[in-house]
Amino acid sequence: MTLIEREVGEFVFELSSRNPTPGGGGASALAGALGVSLGGMVANLTIGKPNYAGDDDEMKKLKVATYRVQKELLDLIQKDADAFEPLAGAYRMPKGTDEERESKARVMEASLKEACLVPLDMMKLCAEAVRLLERIAVIGNRLALSDAACGAVLAYAAMRSAWMNVAVNTYSIRDDAFARRVNDEGMALMEEYAPRAERIYESVERKYRRDDTQNR
pLDDT attached to residue 181: 98
Give the separation between CA 133 and CA 148, rounded to whole angstroms. 6
Average pLDDT over residues 11-23: 87
| Distance, CA of 137 to CA of 103 (rounded, Å) | 52
Total-model pTM = 0.89
Q: Which of 21-25, 50-54, 155-159 has the lowest mean pLDDT?
A: 21-25
- At residue 215, the pLDDT reads 43
* Average pLDDT for the chain: 92
Binning pLDDT at 50, 70 and 90, where does residue 31 land?
very high
* Torsion, Cα of 40, 121, 150, 197 (10° steps): -110
The answer on pLDDT for 211 being more than 70 is no
- pLDDT at residue 213 in the model: 47
pLDDT of 105 reads: 86
Q: Which residue has the higher pLDDT, 214 or 156?
A: 156
Q: Which residue has the higher pLDDT, 9 or 52?
A: 52
Q: What percentage of residues in the chain have a pLDDT greater than 70?
A: 95
Percent of the chain with pLDDT over 90: 73
Predicted local confidence at residue 20, as pLDDT: 82
pLDDT at 11: 85
Of 127, 128, 117, 126, residue with least CA distance to 166: 117
More confident: 15 or 116? 116
Which of the following CATH numbers is that of domain 23-206: 3.30.360.10, 1.20.120.680, 3.40.50.10140, 2.60.120.10? 1.20.120.680
Quote the CA–CA distance of 164 and 119 in Å, as a whole number: 9
Residues 62 and 133: their CA atoms lie apart, in Å, by 9
